[in-house]
Chain A
Amino acid sequence: MAIIEVTNLHKRYRDHVAVHDVSLTVQRGEIFGILGPNGAGKTTTVECVEGLRAPDGGTVRVLGKDPRADRTHLRTKIGVQLQESQLPDRLRVGEALQLYSTFYPDPADWRRLLSDWGLEAKRDTPFGKLSGGQKQRLFIALALIGNPEIAVLDELTTGLDPQARRDTWQLVEEIRERGVTVLLVTHFMAEAERLCDRIAVIDAGRVVAVDTPSGLVSRVDAEQTVRFRPSAPLAEHLLTDLPEVSSVRRVGGQLVVSGTGNLLHAVTSVLARHQVVAADLRVEQADLDDAFVALTGRKLEESK
């Protein structure tokens, strides 16, 4: 069942169009990623889902309802972590959770959330004294305080160090295990690849593709490369004769074999038949980065 349906969403601010045409469908229980460079329209899209902004065109349905018209109802169903949102510096962790729990008709037990998200020791620590990772854990807890069906997480791990980022990924998976559907906005390829069941790639206000991470990668018609150091001289034509192989190069003592299909198997079979052992064998395949380049024509990191 579709829990979020965005159809032909269009949104402009004064003189520039933030979202041209975005359509996507999020199924209940999945982690759905919105991936794209800064300024692609990711945040505007989820703000329309949250009911914070009114679309200029298209429709948005959350749990079958209009986020603007039914905002009173939907606000009890959506938990939000906003990009660059903070709390008063002197507000303590426990107080924040307790306060926010009074906003909801059927809140989660805030003490329980405190321990679930490893914040028990920080209960009396003011917000201003928390580390980046602790702040994000508090924001996740606050997003879940109303017992929502959907959690929207916008750039959750931006500004975190790699360790804190990996810890936070673990937490996002735990959210899903609670049966909460997660809409995750990110511009980190690795984050989307690791967490998301499906990803919508957005570029310049349009959806370029919606697929699973591996589905996106398989769309790339990129060649694989097998590199190895042969233990004995090997005639190149033995490799180039293979239908899977498109080219063979020598780099120093290494052979670099490019091709498609089941390249590795074809190459190693030939080597075995001629009693050649492949040392330092490495296989390079397309990943989500390559998929992004193929879909948008540029690298994600460069487009920032």
Chain B
Amino acid sequence: MIIRMAFTEFKLYLREPASVAATLGLPLLIVVSFGLLINPGTDTSSLVTYFPGMAIAFSLAILSLNLLPTILANYREKGILRRLSTTPVPPASLLLAQVAVSFAVALAMTLIVVVVGHFVIGFTVPAQLGGFLLAFVLGTLSLFTVGLVIAAIAPSGRAATGIGMLVFFLNMFAGGVFTPRETLPDFLNRIGDFLPLGATLTAMRDAWSGSFPQPLHLLVMATITVVFGLAAAGLFRWE
């Protein structure tokens, strides 16, 4: 039942060309076009980890801060969650299915960026693979819980999109995604360290270049996951 639900949600995702383009097409485009520009095979600067990391972070942010809250708030607005609560299946399973599908898309996207970046463009694969996986899982979960809180508090689908946009741009800007943190002033980087996207990207880049992610970033991601996860569970309205 929950598998059928996730399968259905996945089909619905594939039927939104804009969503597929933004979450799978865009990171691929970023990694290929920037890769061709900078020729990573000969570049030894730390910025080499920026482009694939940024492509992944960009897509994760769209997935968690735009798509997830908008879809879930729309489901509530359209009475779909309410309709579910009249069936033997609790409406929370739809949330679960949606999060599972988003996680699967995030995983596939990350895999595509790493594999295409490496074999087609010549980026290195993440040197500290365990640290990278940890950064990916914690980072994705923390971003998803933030998206769930947006869905929980937004009065409508439209409002969820608006709030999501605001959080999205704040994270993209201060999190070192639009421009690498190497070029940002210290105070912005300090803010970025505590934002889910900033912590995720920095931890992934650290792992990519061979060092284990910093405890600060892991702690930030884990704390956000727990706090926002609980907040979403407590605040979520089904109608």
A interface list, Cβ under 8 A from B: 50-52, 72, 75-76, 78, 80, 82, 84-88, 90-91, 95, 98-100, 102-105, 146
Q: A82-B79, A85-B80 are in contact. Are A104 and B87 (CB under 8 A)?
A: yes
- Taking CB as reference atom, which chain B residue is nearest A143? B86
B79, A84: Cβ atoms under 8 Å?
A: yes
Residues of B within 8 A of A91 (CB): 8, 12
Which of A50, A84, A88 counts the most chain B CB atoms within 10 A?
A88
Minimum distance in angstroms from B239 CB to a CB of chain A: 8
B interface list, Cβ under 8 A from A: 1, 4-5, 8, 11-12, 15-16, 75, 78-80, 82-83, 85-89
Query: Looking at the complex, which one of A76, A84, A88 makes contact with B75 (CB distance below 8 Å)?
Result: A88
Q: A76-B88, A82-B82 are in contact. Are A103 and B1 (CB under 8 A)?
A: yes
Which of B78, B83, B86 counts the most chain A CB atoms within 10 A?
B86
21 A-B interface contacts by CB (under 8 A): A51-B86, A52-B85, A52-B86, A75-B86, A75-B87, A76-B88, A80-B83, A82-B82, A82-B86, A86-B78, A86-B79, A86-B80, A87-B80, A88-B78, A90-B12, A95-B11, A100-B87, A103-B88, A104-B87, A105-B88, A146-B87
Chain A contact residues: helix, strand, loop or mixed: loop
A90, B79: Cβ atoms under 8 Å?
A: no
Q: A90-B16, A95-B8, A102-B4 are in contact. Are A72 and B82 (CB under 8 A)?
A: no
A90, B1: Cβ atoms under 8 Å?
A: no
Residues of B within 8 A of A51 (CB): 86
How far, in angstroms, from A52 to B238 measured CA to CA in the complex? 11
B83, A82: Cβ atoms under 8 Å?
A: yes
B86, A72: Cβ atoms under 8 Å?
A: no
How far, in angstroms, from A56 to B12 measured CA to CA in the complex? 40
Residues of A within 8 A of B1 (CB): 102-103
- Taking CB as reference atom, which chain A residue is nearest B81? A85
Query: Looking at the complex, which one of A72, A76, A84, A88 makes contact with B12 (CB distance below 8 Å)?
Result: A88
Residues of A within 8 A of B88 (CB): 72, 75-76, 103-105, 146
- Taking CB as reference atom, which chain B residue is nearest A80? B86
Residues of A within 8 A of B79 (CB): 82, 84-86
- Taking CB as reference atom, which chain B residue is nearest A76? B88
A50, B86: Cβ atoms under 8 Å?
A: yes
- Taking CB as reference atom, which chain A residue is nearest B3? A102
Residues of B within 8 A of A104 (CB): 87-88
- Taking CB as reference atom, which chain A residue is nearest B14? A90
Residues of B within 8 A of A90 (CB): 12, 15-16
Residues of B within 8 A of A88 (CB): 12, 75, 78, 80
Residues of B within 8 A of A146 (CB): 87-88
Known: A82-B83, A85-B83, A146-B87. 19 other contacts (CB 8 A): A50-B86, A75-B86, A78-B86, A82-B79, A85-B79, A86-B78, A87-B80, A90-B12, A91-B8, A91-B12, A95-B8, A95-B11, A99-B4, A99-B5, A99-B8, A100-B87, A102-B4, A103-B1, A146-B88
